[in-house]
Amino acid sequence: MPGRRKSATPFWETKTLSQMTHREWESLCDGCGRCCLHKLENTETGEIHYTSVACKLLDTDTARCGDYKQRLQHVPDCIVLKKEHVGHLGWLPDSCAYRRLDEGRGLPDWHPLVSGNSDSVHAAGISVRGRVKPGQGVTEAEYEEHLIDWIPQGQRSCPEIP
């Protein structure tokens, strides 16, 4: 009996976000760290503005969470992306794979799943690695002093998380 051939079409092109396995879902994260930056929402327009202030768990040298599996114990208001959020991901950066797929835009060439290289997100200048400061010592009142313009501002407001 001949062996089964693997599909040449990648899973993110054949499945919706809600059809993906947990492993597939997790693999969509490109490791940019942008979602781990503190954000401000303009209450009049709903626009999201990113700051250069990172979550206290973000390792600013790698752009990865320092304790991903137990992050909610350290940061109770961390938003854990779930399949239930599909359709409400406009608050994520335009470059985010979850948002891109949710909006039908596919993955860019620099995404590690496409390039086969986990450093491609950094080489493309998408990640926050080395570009932001740890959040310790910066109060919410000071976030406006740390607004950045190298992340496109979101067009939609933060979601109501179920």
What gap in Å lies between CA 13 and CA 80, rounded to an integer? Answer: 23
- Report if pTM > 0.95: no
* Domain regions of the chain by residue span: 21-146
Question: For 93-134, how does the pLDDT look when each residue is reduced to its tens digit (9 = 90+)?
Answer: 899 999 999 999 999 999 999 999 999 999 999 999 999 988
Could you tell me how far CA 137 lies from the centroid of its own chain? 24
